[in-house]
Amino acid sequence: MTTTLDPSVRIGKAAVAAVGLLALATGALESVVTPTLPLLQRELDMSPAEGALLSIVLLITGALITPIAGKFGDRYGGKLVLVRLMALVSAGGLISALAPNLPVLLAGQVLQGAMVGALPLSFILMRKHLPAGESKVAIGLVSGLFVGGGMAGTLMAGPVAEGLSRHWMFALPTIVVIAATALVGKLFPPDPPGRSDGGGIDWPGLALLCGTLVTLMLVLALAPDLAAAQPVVLGGLVVLLAAFVTGWIIVERRVASPMVDLRMLARPAVWKSCVLTFVICVGTATPVYLVPQLLALPSDAYGFGASATAIGFFLLPGTIAATLAGPIAGIGARRFGARFVVTAGVVLLVAGLLGLALVHTAVWQVVAGKALIALANGLCVTAMVTSTATSVDQNDTGIATSLVLVTRVLGFAVGVQFSGALLTASIPAGSDVPAESAFVTSFVMAAAVTTLSLFVIRTMSKGAKE
């Protein structure tokens, strides 16, 4: 649907910059746990199972809150919902910063998970207050800054935690989130509520989706240990997962106001973006997890013995590439269409994965491969989100983009858990160093999975050129 922009409510560059700063800060806050998980396990006396729970709880709560945030943003206005959502995120960041033990830290992470819903709300604001052409570039910029913030969080978490304390690695990005939220509230005009379907929150659907995500993570995390020792338990988890998925689909198809409108998922532009996002993020998650592991392995094996600070430095080129990918993808989609940008991103992603599989004997090879993958992932995800956000009715922007972003979270979680399972299974008895072949196999499998996305890309429309 084509909408006429009211000149009186058009925003300026400062407002777009405020949303970009918010995306950068939330991306950083989202990513600080992963590189410092061993440190947190030591300081909080966590078991490996508790560490795994801490590493996925934000992803799970983010996947649950995102569809609700997008739906409420479409219904009540993006600014109102975004500011309230970021108040929860800020509270979670402060709780995590002050947490004296694991239960309190988990509570903070649960609240922080609401940050994943910030992106579809930001897209609602961009479309409401900018012309169509400018909104594509702005959405690309915001998406790129969120990705760049995630890389920046990975970069700074180790030095801050080692130089100051684990408390400050949560506190610093939280302070920026609070400031950026205040700027958004001041610089954006009140946006009128959109369409309302008159329904409330779909609590049964929310509960079933929660059960689905938790069970999926348990299956992926425990499969290597349970497959041989307790296959009956693993089989029971798989059956439970299937029951949760079936029940959720039934509820979402029948409830008057579903949490996730599956009719939206039936639209070709949306389901193709979701499939592509999932496949590409599974492939991207492999190097996100494996590259730091490879850099940290002892140099007398086949690693490089890098410290947390050194690893952050080695990932800096990837940070820059991921940050640039957002605006590049937005401009590329505007001039050449989304299909061209996604195809180019997939080709670069496969090249980077195969490059890491074939050559990883020098640091520069690993750094170059990771930077290429970060650029490719940013191009793909940003182009797909931008295409989806601008291919549906304006009142459906939040719902459609939230589906893509939930798929991104799921793909990343599946990719990380699967890569970790492969490494665990390859560790010889009496050793704590996985076989080098596990890294090669993981990179090759990720490249093969990513290549499959080209079959879906062929069916995409080229996309309008502005």
Calpha distance 368→164 (Å, rounded): 30
Helix count (H) and strand count (E) of the chain? Answer: 19, 0
Query: By mean pLDDT, which of 119-123, 224-228, 310-314, 334-338 is the weakest?
Result: 224-228
Residue 196, pLDDT > 90, answer no
Average of pLDDT values for 339-355? Answer: 89
d(CA 170, CA 165): 10
Higher pLDDT residue, 159 or 426? 159
Please give the average per-residue pLDDT across 204-230, as a whole number. Answer: 72
Q: Report whether pLDDT(194) > 80.
A: no
Write down the pLDDT at residue 309: 73
Give the pLDDT band of residue 462 (cuts 50, 70, 90). Answer: low
User: How large is the average pLDDT for residues 16-41?
Assistant: 79
Architecture of domain 10-190: Up-down Bundle (1.20)
> If 0-12 CB within 10 Å is exposed, 13-18 middle and 19+ buried, where does residue 434 land?
buried
Q: What is the CATH number of domain 261-466?
A: 1.20.1250.20
Asked whether the CA dihedral 308, 433, 41, 150 is positive or negative, the reply is positive
Task: Give me the pLDDT at residue 2, please.
Answer: 44
Residue 45 identity: D
Residue 163 has pLDDT above 60, yes or no: yes
Per-residue model confidence (pLDDT) at position 330:
73
pLDDT of residue 137: 73
Closest-CA residue to 413 (of 40, 115, 53): 53
Q: Give the integer Cα–Cα distance in Å for 189 and 185.
A: 8
Please list the alpha-helical segments (H only) found in 315-362. Answer: 316-336, 338-358
Q: Does residue 298 register a pLDDT over 50?
A: yes
Report the pLDDT value the prediction gives residue 398, as an integer from 0 to 100.
Answer: 59
CA distances to 249, 254, 356 from 242, in Å: 11, 19, 35
Stretch 80-102: mean pLDDT:
86
Question: In this structure, how many other beta carbons lie within 10 angstroms of the beta carbon of residue 165?
Answer: 13
Mean pLDDT, residues 173-200: 74
Residue reference for tokens 């940003």: 382
Confidence of residue 175 (pLDDT cuts 50, 70, 90): very high
Name the percent of the chain lying above pLDDT 70: 78
The whole-number pLDDT of residue 355 equals 93
7: confidence class by pLDDT, cuts 50, 70, 90:
very low
pLDDT top residue among 213 and 106: 106
User: pLDDT band at residue 464, thresholds of 50, 70 and 90?
Assistant: very low
pLDDT at residue 184, as a whole number: 79
Give the mean pLDDT of the chain.
Answer: 77
This prediction's pTM: 0.69
- State the average pLDDT over residues 39-44: 76
Give residue 399's pLDDT: 65
Chain-centroid distance, C-alpha 69: 16
pLDDT score, position 396: 61
| Higher local confidence (pLDDT), 289 or 343 | 343
Question: Predicted confidence band at 8 (pLDDT cuts at 50, 70, 90)?
Answer: very low
Burial class (CB in 10 A: 0-12, 13-18, 19+), 225: middle
Q: Do the beta carbons of residue 127 and residue 135 sit within 8 Å?
A: yes
What is the arithmetic mean of pLDDT over 272-300? Answer: 81
**How far apart, in whole angstroms, are the C-alpha atoms of residue 213 and residue 205?**
12
Residue 351 has pLDDT above 90, yes or no: yes
Distance of CA 47 to the CA centre of its chain: 25
Query: What band does 3 get if pLDDT is binned at 50, 70 and 90?
Result: very low
